Amino acid sequence: MKALIKVAEGPGLEYTDVPDPRPGPNDVVVRVLRTGICGTDLHIDAWDDWAAKTITAPLVVGHEFVGEVVETGAAVTAAKPGDLVSGEGHLVCGTCRNCKAGRRHLCANTRGLGVHRDGAFAEYAMLPEQNVWVHRNPVDLDVAAIFDPFGNAVHTALSFPVIGEDVLITGAGPIGLMAAAVARHAGARHVAITDVSPHRLELAKQVGVDLALDVGTASIADAPGMLGMSEGFDVGMEMSGQPSALRAMIDGMAHGGRIALLGLPATQFPVDFSSIVLKMLHIKGIYGREMFETWYSMSVLLEAGLDLSPVITHRYRSADYAQAFATARQGNCGKIILDWTED
């Protein structure tokens, strides 16, 4: 089969032939239809410090996908050939305290599909049955391919109640855009999002935000007045990993406000803890998705009419991966899809 592989240490990927996967008793083999490009894939391609410390080559990369089940192991009961499925990219141990308590998203031994074991940028992908999400209702294939990052957005956006609340999102990348769409759909009063990219701020308007703020020319401190608010924001969602964004968000929160942190900083940085204490803020770290409550919420939101189409801006054949990766690095894009059925 064709696959996109990190063949050896160093920059670059290869689109080449590898053996088809052979399932164990608890595994599911999927014919991949579409995949989404993630920032993690860009790190692996570039071979930055994180990739050099984390990745063991050779490795089939990629973890965002949708496909059709073609083969199952002897012990598999929840998926069958012909099912349309997406995959949970976090592989948990099943034996630690949190796993045994049903809190699998808190597993300290989590491994990553396309990071620690072969992933989904291939004509066929294999993963454990417990990581398969079967789509029981019709779903657009491009949207189904990005259920993994969509889950990050839903997990973040619904970590705190947003009905009637004023919401601030820092970072209008694809996950920030999806979180904005979810917050709007879930009943937030005002949704403001910040970035420095005019292209991404324009996409934010398409998903229905009330304020798309260019923080290169304005300040978060200006946002409440621009929205007619008398106090700060009730709920914050930090998606950028930028120190300045979190500091500005803390300053812009109302007393008793709640902040969900998904953006991953590259280095440590100071924040004003006195402001956090005096404002009595709640701050929660978000990593991945709650398995599988978040997945249920994603499906229900789509059934209820949530529209993610503005977030998906580019589509390429899998063989044109180099152009797709270049587009992703350029930044003037939303989510990028690779089609594995056209070659």
Query: Residue 287, annotated ligand binder?
Result: yes
Q: Do residues 119 and 241 share a domain?
A: no
* The total number of structural domains that make up the chain: 2
Q: Residue 307: its pLDDT value, please?
A: 96
Q: Do residues 133 and 36 share a domain?
A: yes
Q: Do residues 39 and 93 share a domain?
A: yes
| Residue-averaged pLDDT of the chain | 97
Is the predicted pLDDT of residue 266 greater than 90, yes or no?
Answer: no
Is the predicted pLDDT of residue 118 greater than 70, yes or no?
Answer: yes
Among 35, 40, 72, 194, the active-site one is 40
What is the rounded distance in angstroms from the CA atom of residue 18 to the CA atom of residue 50?
26
How confident is the model over 193-210, as a mean pLDDT? 97
43 is catalytic: yes
Q: Residue 342: its pLDDT value, please?
A: 79
Which tens digits make up the pLDDT trace of 283-295? 999 999 999 999 9
Q: How confident is the model at residue 107 (pLDDT cuts 50, 70, 90)?
A: very high
* Whole-structure pTM value: 0.96
Q: What interhelical angle do 174-185 and 147-157 show, nearest 10?
A: 50
How confident is the model over 94-122, as a mean pLDDT? 97
What number of other Cβ atoms are within 10 A of residue 330's Cβ?
9
Query: Residue 333, annotated ligand binder?
Result: no
Q: Do residues 244 and 329 share a domain?
A: no
Q: Residue 253: its pLDDT value, please?
A: 98
Query: Residue 264, annotated ligand binder?
Result: yes
Q: Do residues 125 and 174 share a domain?
A: no
What is the rounded distance in angstroms from the CA atom of residue 5 to the CA atom of residue 15?
6
Residue with the two structure tokens 């899809």: 337
∠ at Cα 74 (69, 75), nearest 5°? 95
User: Cis peptide before 292, with omega less than 30 degrees from 0?
Assistant: yes
Is the predicted pLDDT of residue 343 greater than 70, yes or no?
Answer: no
Which tens digits make up the pLDDT trace of 134-161? 999 999 999 999 999 999 999 999 999 9
Please report the sign of the dihedral spanned by the C-alpha atoms of residue 216, residue 217, residue 222, residue 226. negative
CA distances, 205 to each of 156, 225, 285, 327, 336 (Å): 20, 19, 27, 21, 19
Residue 269 falls in which region: left (phi positive, over 0), alpha (psi -120 to 50) or beta: beta
Q: Find the CATH number of the domain harbouring 160.
A: 3.40.50.720
Give 335's strand partners.
312
Q: Find the CATH number of the domain harbouring 33.
A: 3.90.180.10
Nearest CA-CA partner of 167 in 206, 105, 213, 200? 213
3-state helix, strand, coil in the chain (%, to 5): 30, 25, 40
Q: Do residues 189 and 100 share a domain?
A: no
Which tens digits make up the pLDDT trace of 30-77? 999 999 999 999 999 999 999 999 999 999 999 999 999 999 999 999
Query: Residue 64, annotated ligand binder?
Result: yes
Q: Do residues 131 and 168 share a domain?
A: no
Q: Residue 139: its pLDDT value, please?
A: 97
Q: Do residues 195 and 158 share a domain?
A: yes
Query: Residue 278, annotated ligand binder?
Result: no
Query: Residue 15, annotated ligand binder?
Result: no
Which tens digits make up the pLDDT trace of 295-317? 999 999 999 999 999 999 999 99
Query: How many CA atoms lie less than 13 Å away from 75 in the CB half-sphere?
Result: 8
Q: Do residues 24 and 124 share a domain?
A: yes
Q: How confident is the model at residue 262 (pLDDT cuts 50, 70, 90)?
A: very high
Q: Do residues 48 and 94 share a domain?
A: yes
Reduced to 3 states, what is the DSSP secondary structure of residue 214? Answer: strand
In a domain, 204, yes or no: yes
Q: Residue 20: its pLDDT value, please?
A: 97
**Is residue 296 within 8 Å of 88, Cβ to Cβ?**
no
What is the rounded distance in angstroms from the CA atom of residue 281 to the CA atom of residue 273?
10
78 DSSP 8-state letter: S
Reduced to 3 states, what is the DSSP secondary structure of residue 123? Answer: coil
Q: Residue 88: its pLDDT value, please?
A: 98
Among 16, 35, 43, 314, the active-site one is 43
Nearest CA-CA partner of 240 in 251, 232, 248? 248
How confident is the model over 236-255, as a mean pLDDT? 97
Q: Do residues 8 and 137 share a domain?
A: yes
Query: Residue 5, annotated ligand binder?
Result: no
The full DSSP string for 281-326 is -EEEE--S--TTHHHHHHHHHHHTT---GGGEEEEEEGGGHHHHHH
In a domain, 291, yes or no: no
Is the predicted pLDDT of residue 195 greater than 90, yes or no?
Answer: yes
Query: What range defines the domain where residue 37 resides?
Result: 2-146+308-339
